[in-house]
Amino acid sequence: MHSSASQTAPGPPPPPSRRPEILAQLDKFWLRVTEGLELNQLWKQFHADARAGFRFYRKDFTAHAHGEVRRHNFFQTAQEFAWALLEKLSPARRVLLLLGVLLLIFPAGGYSYHGSSGEVEIEELDLHFFGGALIFLLLMLEVADRVVMKRDLEIARDIQKWLLPASPPPIPGLGVAFATRAANTVAGDYYDVFPRMSANGSESRFLLAVADVAGKSMPAALLMATFQASLKTLSSVPCSLTELITGMNRYASSNSQEGRRFTTAFLGEFDASTRDLTYINAGHNTPILRRSVGTIERLDRGGLPLGIDAQAAYQTGAVKLQAGDWLVIFTDGVVEAVNEHGAEYGEQRLLNVLQTGTGATPEELLRRIISDLDTFVGETPQHDDITCMLLKAL
């Protein structure tokens, strides 16, 4: 007995799912947008940006309310912040923003007209789209400005790095390490170590310089560049340390906007043949000299910051460095760094790290100081430039 079974011809295979390809494209897009940052890292970055933006606009808010004794309710505060925002824009962009906001909050309406048949027809006109388009246009204009400014700041940062030494020169009997960290793209802190001819013709002398220009970002960076230029120019001529800083002060006073743009500085001249350090402290944070026996001295002889008084007189101090002595020169961004509770790092913590690390090299101890500072500050945004120079007598 023969039997046959009818078989249905197989149909075309189902099209392959594009879901994995789409997910891969989305992952690639998200990676490009976030630059590989995790969600918690993105939130921390947004939180830091929001706090920085709040402080930026609050400056104008505080300036408007300066000298006025009044209580701000919510609407008054919102109005002050709105004006602080508007005043950062050009007049044309202010109008664009206000028009966009009005169109966004304006209710959708309609208008009527008589068609060809004589019937009344209603057309709805939604202005929200046009309001969003205007704000998007304003956003694009602001982003374009930011991109241009960021590119210029990056160029300025590269130039500033070129002005600062990458590594210290070899100095007989002295180990040197330094580091700096800008609060913004560019900084107003300056440091340098280089050989110079002394007034008596000696070639065994080295100039040590750490300076801090009042202010931050681009204005301070420009003045830092002028400080570096005047220091290099004047120090190329054989002269005493007092004559050097007096000439720098006169130059700084001619460009300080009546003392508003001053510079604190510590200049030292180390004689490798005698191990003598001659110094002048022009209103700078007092460097810490820790002797090999554990005693602490402060190098505080000098005078006013540069740029305040063109006729200011400066006193010279001198110390002899012995083997095992440490000298710490720093800017106020180190000791005034604050944590989330508003507490400052302070000189005592800096001293504690110094006291426990005297057996290390300058490079190792500098890393310990920066690490301890970062641990103390945590995630609090840096509000000032940080510069530290360590010297160890060998």
CATH number at residue 389: 3.60.40.10
Indicate the Cα dihedral angle 235, 238, 241, 245, nearest 10°: -50
pLDDT for 6: 47
Shared domain for 313 and 290, answered yes or no, is: yes
Tell me whether residue 75 is in a domain. no
Nearest-angstrom CA–CA distance, 163 and 146 = 25
pLDDT for 286: 95
> Which of helix, strand or coil describes residue 391?
strand
Shared domain for 196 and 320, answered yes or no, is: yes
Tell me whether residue 185 is in a domain. yes
- Taking the CB of residue 170, how many other CB atoms lie within 10 A of it? 10
pLDDT for 62: 60
Shared domain for 174 and 155, answered yes or no, is: no
pLDDT for 4: 46
Q: What residues make up the domain containing 129?
A: 80-107+123-163
* Per-residue CA distances from 46 to 211, 243, 294, 310 (Å): 32, 50, 45, 45
Give me the residues of the chain with pLDDT under 70, please. Answer: 1-17, 49-50, 52-74, 77, 81, 107-126, 198-203, 256-259
Number of structural domains (the chain) is 2
Shared domain for 327 and 368, answered yes or no, is: yes
Shared domain for 139 and 224, answered yes or no, is: no
pLDDT for 258: 65
Q: Reduced to 3 DSSP states, what percent helix, strand and coil does the chain have, rounded to the nearest 5? A: 45, 20, 35
Shared domain for 132 and 276, answered yes or no, is: no
Which of 132, 147, 163 lies at the terminal end of a domain, its last residue? Answer: 163
Q: What is the model's pTM? A: 0.70
Look-up of token digits 């505060």: 77
Q: Which residues pair with 176 in a beta bridge?
A: 391
Look-up of token digits 């189902």: 14
Shared domain for 154 and 239, answered yes or no, is: no
Tell me whether residue 187 is in a domain. yes
Tell me whether residue 197 is in a domain. yes
Nearest-angstrom CA–CA distance, 157 and 260 = 24
